[in-house]
Amino acid sequence: MQVDWFFILEKVLLITGVLIISLVVAMYSTWGERKVAGIMQDRLGPNRAGPLGLLQPLADGGKLFFKEEIIPGASNRFLFILGPSLAMTVACMTSAVIPWGDTLTIAGHTVSLQVADVNIGILYIFGVVSLGVYGIMLGGWSSNNKFSLLSSIRAASQIISYELAMGMALIALLMVTGSLSLKDIVEQQRQSGVWNVFVQPLGFIIFLICSFAETNRSPFDLAEAENELNGGYHLEYSSMKLGFFLFAEYINMFISSALMSTLYFGGYHIWGLDSLHVSPNIVTILGTLVLFIKTICFIFFFMWVRWTIPRFRYDQLMRLGWNYLIPIALLNMLITGGWILWHQH
């Protein structure tokens, strides 16, 4: 059997790199969240562990690891552990189809900064997102606590409801780009210089709102409305298993920010980058940096909204999803179809 070792090594390194970066970004998002909250509420935020409180995530992680681990007596032990593991695994899976940059040329080999350029990239994301419900449902049910169960059902129906509008926003985007591959979508924006957000403004707004709902972030964070409902589907969880659920949320936030930058904001493209007179490798690296800056801006936006807008009530959340977002998404599809037809003739 002919094995391309360089290819395997390249992919293993890339997957490891993407995973580590996702984890580090998620880790420092927890720090960023507190800093942003602190600034918005005229406080200092974390400032004890290390300079600017930069070691705070490590201290938090250590604390979670050393906390006592309690598995409720009447729970299903296997499913209780499977829940947070699934939440974490699924959160890490989406990063495989996101193009983190163009190609690098190393020692005559062309290395693509994308783990898998499949021709069904967007559908893959759909598939992974739809699997995200299982971690929440299994975790809530296996706790054998009726409040956890109610909360997990609430979170699951929220995710399922907003998946529909999100899908329809993406269909309208597909009609414009004509490709399901994320790499193609970025390259089209790069070639034309027009980001999809200018072509699909309504679709982007729908996608943005749905991302907030899918990641269980405020104003849709009913899953963890401690004050008026209860601790959520992770009520019975403690130690690092709770940490996994909370951490998965931050990874999801990072990935959906990267996804929005890729789909609607040109990915690793910025105007003027391709006309710089430097070697292609440097252009690629700068492009990757550009993508990360865009992503971090979106993460900041997520936090900004969290500390600005109050939480929806459950019936308002459902009404927004089914009565407003889905019809608007359908209308957006119709307008896009009409626009394409008009352009063809």
**In the structure encoding, which two tokens stand for residue 336, read together?**
């896009």
Does position 330 bind another protein by CB under 8 A? no
Looking at beta carbons only, is 80 or 268 nearer to another protein?
80
Q: How many helices (H) and strands (E) does the chain have?
A: 12, 2
C-alpha distance from residue 268 to each of 14, 51, 103, 141, 184 (Å):
17, 31, 11, 41, 12
CB of 123 to another protein, least distance (A): 4
Q: Which one of 11-19, 153-161, 271-279, 304-312 is the stretch in contact with another protein (CB under 8 A)? A: 153-161
Does position 220 bind another protein by CB under 8 A? no
Q: What is the largest CA-CA distance in the chain?
A: 68
Q: What distance in Å separates the CA atoms of residue 296 and residue 282, rounded to the nearest whole number?
A: 21
Q: Which one of 23-31, 134-142, 256-264, 326-334 is the stretch in contact with another protein (CB under 8 A)? A: 134-142
CB of 171 to another protein, least distance (A): 13
Does position 175 bind another protein by CB under 8 A? no
DSSP-derived secondary structure letter, 103? E
Other beta carbons less than 10 A from residue 313's beta carbon: 12
- Give me the half-sphere count of Cα atoms (radius 13 Å) on the Cβ side of residue 177: 30
Looking at beta carbons only, is 47 or 130 nearer to another protein?
130
Does position 171 bind another protein by CB under 8 A? no
Other beta carbons less than 10 A from residue 243's beta carbon: 20
3-state secondary structure of 281: helix
Among 96, 113, 133, 182, indicate the residue that binds another protein (CB under 8 A): 133
Q: What is the pairing mode between strands 103-106 and 109-112?
A: antiparallel
Among 21, 71, 104, 118, indicate the residue that binds another protein (CB under 8 A): 118
Does position 79 bind another protein by CB under 8 A? yes
Q: List interacting residues with another protein (CB under 8 A).
A: 1, 76, 79, 118-120, 123-124, 126-127, 129-131, 133-134, 137, 141, 149, 153, 156, 160, 180
